[in-house]
Amino acid sequence: MFIVESNSLRDERRQYREGEILSQVLRMMGKGAEYRYIRTSKELGAMAQEFRKSRFRYLHMACHGAYDGFGLPLDTVPFTDCARIVGPVIENRRLFLSACSFAQPGLARAVFHSYRRRERPSQSTDVAFA
């Protein structure tokens, strides 16, 4: 699994890194995992290209989401930009999102349309945290 994570500046100071923990757990289980932390949309593009070149089948994005995009510490990435960056590199692969409010049907349509895939996206499910 190729994990790309980004947090708010506040969470960076707190050193919250769920993606990093996930990558450590996967490696402890003998599974392949790469972890990358990003702060800008330019870095997102670079990580998308690293994922494209890798043999990993799964791209896991852990970030702060909104109803129309997601936030990076130094940038905001709307659905259309995310689709343009990530869509072309996930054909025949899977995208997992761990982000508040980011897993929206509009994002799924934009990403899947970006590489004209006929497969239907799976259902998104809200997870309630106590």
Tens digit of each residue's pLDDT (9 = 90 or more) over 10-36: 888 999 899 999 999 999 999 999 999
| pTM of the full structure | 0.80
Any idea which residue has 């659905």 for tokens? 79
- Residue 75 domain-assigned (yes or no): yes
* Positive or negative torsion for Cα 123, 28, 21, 49: negative
- Look up residue 70 and give its amino acid: F
Buried b (16+ CB within 10 A) or exposed e, 31-65: eebbbbbbeebebbbebbeebbeeebeebbbbbbb
The answer to whether residue 38 scores a pLDDT higher than 80 is yes
- For residue 123, what pLDDT is reported? 55
Report pLDDT digits (tens) over 59-107: 999 888 777 778 888 888 888 898 889 988 988 898 888 877 666 677 7
- For residue 121, what pLDDT is reported? 52
- Residue 119 domain-assigned (yes or no): no
Dig out the tokens for 50 from the structure. 């690293």
DSSP state of 94: E
Find the domain containing 28 and state its range.
2-113
- Residue 120 domain-assigned (yes or no): no
Query: What CATH number should be reported for the domain holding residue 10?
Result: 3.40.50.1460
- Look up residue 16 and give its amino acid: Y
**How many structural domains comprise the chain?**
1
